[in-house]
């Protein structure tokens, strides 16, 4: 072996060493500081709005609670003032405030998550970024984890403010029409301090994966919004009510005066299913046609009438005491889903280089 054929032996100084993780934190901040600033401005503006509109409600609730005796005209006026404020509240599920807040996780996920990888792939800068000493998979992991943690922390703080906003209703047992919709489970359930960061993180992970798959920013944003909407609809409409086995009870149960989440009502006779919901006209005409109008107009008029003929009303429901267990269950599976989506995204970064 001659001097020309001897393989070069790199010295310790020439060996390529991975860059430290703290360097990537600075790179992530410089690349995404405008996006993070936009998220901060959005959440800050909404926080100021919640504080301005929520402070009078807290004052009205405190004044009504401190008034004694409760049956006095002055106390009744304070109670009526609080109820009127709650009824006209724009923060109901279907009010403009509630709709706006429910869009926040989707917007953050779409506009902060989708461009993370899609912009690099669309513009071609990944050919430079992925060849640096940090490594492509470490580059993707650092950016996704750092941005996800920051977004989750910010939305968790905002979720605490949302819970503060609704504290007068939950602490005093008020059920303002259109606000709680008779159950705290329906009162913007996904915007509390547990579920809000979980939904935001899930939307961010969906956006990152969509950007990696589609490799175009705008289509990835649209796909993120569509997938998030489908997931949110399926969770609220089908999945959430099955987190724990619903309880069932018989007899009079008026959902309008309860804080429980009513899943369904049905009637049975001789241990067998008879009908669901309101009784059919055939049974009313057969057994309750002679019922006085003032009794028939009540919520339990036909129920009591049919009970005399062997029909037993059943109600399945989730009690209000399960609110926080449901919060942690939903937050837990969303966190697992987000971790899986981020893992798949990083795997694609390693496997699909070009």
- In which residue are the tokens 């109901």 written? 92
Query: What angle separates helix 96-108 from helix 217-234, to the nearest 10 degrees?
Result: 130
Domain check: are 231 and 257 in the same one? no
Structural domain range at position 156: 33-245+321-351
Domain check: are 265 and 329 in the same one? no
Domain check: are 302 and 326 in the same one? no
- Report the chain's C-alpha Rg in angstroms: 28
Q: How many domains does the chain have?
A: 2
Q: State how far the alpha carbon of 136 is from the alpha carbons of 30, 93, 147, 287, 339, in Å.
A: 18, 43, 17, 75, 18
Domain check: are 166 and 220 in the same one? yes
pLDDT at 13 over 50: no
Q: Is residue 47 part of a domain?
A: yes
Distance CA 216, CA 139 (A): 19
pLDDT at 168 over 80: no
Strand partners, 272: 269
Q: Is residue 214 part of a domain?
A: yes
In this predicted model, what pLDDT tens digit does every residue of 173-192 receive, in sequence order? 454 444 444 467 766 788 89
Strand partners, 261: 318
Q: State how far the alpha carbon of 95 is from the alpha carbons of 55, 68, 170, 178, in Å.
A: 19, 33, 19, 8
At residue 95, the 3 state secondary structure works out as coil
Domain check: are 169 and 221 in the same one? yes
Confidence bin at 155 (pLDDT 50/70/90): very high
Judged by average pLDDT, the poorest of 4-13, 28-37, 101-110, 134-143 is 4-13
Domain check: are 95 and 39 in the same one? yes
Average pLDDT score over the chain: 77
User: Which residues contact residue 263 at a Cβ distance below 8 angstroms, ignoring those fewer than 6 apart?
Assistant: 241, 246, 316, 317, 318
| Per-residue confidence (pLDDT) for residue 45, from 0 to 100 | 93
The token pair at 147 is: 């941005």
Q: Which helix (DSSP H) or strand (DSSP E) does residue 106 occupy?
A: helix 96-108
| Per-residue confidence (pLDDT) for residue 58, from 0 to 100 | 80
Q: Is residue 279 part of a domain?
A: yes
Domain check: are 111 and 52 in the same one? yes
Domain check: are 235 and 94 in the same one? yes
pLDDT at 218 over 90: yes
pLDDT at 115 over 50: yes
Across the range 193-221, mean pLDDT stands at 94
Domain check: are 270 and 237 in the same one? no
User: Which residues contact residue 31 at a Cβ distance below 8 angstroms, ignoring those fewer than 6 apart?
Assistant: 143
Q: Is residue 24 part of a domain?
A: no
| Per-residue confidence (pLDDT) for residue 43, from 0 to 100 | 94
Q: Is residue 26 part of a domain?
A: no
Distance CA 169, CA 64 (A): 12
Domain check: are 182 and 312 in the same one? no
Residue whose C-alpha is closest to residue 101's, from 158, 154, 63: 158
0.85 cut: is pTM over it? Answer: no
């Amino acid at each position: 072996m001659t001097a020309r054929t001897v393989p070069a032996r790199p010295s310790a100084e020439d060996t390529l060493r991975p860059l430290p993780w703290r360097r990537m934190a600075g790179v992530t901040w410089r690349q995404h500081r405008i996006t993070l600033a936009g998220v901060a401005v959005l959440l800050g503006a909404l926080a100021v709005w919640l504080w301005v509109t929520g402070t009078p409600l807290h004052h009205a609730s405190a004044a009504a609670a401190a008034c004694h005796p409760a049956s006095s005209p002055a106390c009744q006026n304070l109670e009526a003032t609080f109820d009127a404020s709650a009824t006209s509240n724009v923060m109901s599920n279907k009010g403009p405030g509630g709709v706006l807040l429910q869009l926040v996780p989707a917007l953050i996920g779409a506009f902060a998550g989708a461009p993370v990888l899609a912009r690099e792939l669309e513009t071609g800068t990944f050919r430079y970024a992925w060849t640096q000493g940090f490594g492509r998979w470490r580059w993707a992991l650092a950016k996704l984890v750092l941005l996800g943690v920051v977004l989750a922390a910010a939305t968790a703080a905002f979720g605490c403010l949302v819970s503060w906003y609704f504290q007068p209703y939950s602490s005093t047992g008020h059920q303002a029409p259109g606000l709680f919709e008779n159950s705290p489970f329906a009162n913007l359930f996904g915007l509390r301090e547990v579920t809000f960061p979980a939904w935001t993180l899930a939307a961010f992970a969906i956006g990152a994966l969509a950007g990696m798959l589609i490799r175009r920013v705008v289509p990835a944003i649209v796909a993120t919004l569509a997938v998030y909407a489908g997931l949110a609809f399926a969770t609220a409409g089908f999945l959430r009510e099955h987190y724990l086995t619903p309880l069932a009870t018989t007899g009079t149960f008026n959902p309008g005066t309860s804080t429980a989440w009513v899943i369904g009502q049905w009637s049975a006779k001789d241990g067998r299913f008879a009908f669901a919901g309101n009784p059919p006209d055939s049974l009313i005409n057969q057994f309750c046609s002679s019922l006085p109008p003032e009794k028939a107009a009540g919520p339990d008029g036909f129920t009591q009438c049919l009970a005399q003929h062997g029909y037993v009303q059943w109600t399945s429901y989730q009690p209000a005491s399960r609110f926080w267990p449901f919060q942690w269950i939903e937050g837990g599976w969303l966190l697992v889903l987000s971790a899986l989506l981020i893992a798949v995204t990083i795997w694609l970064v390693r496997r699909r280089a070009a």
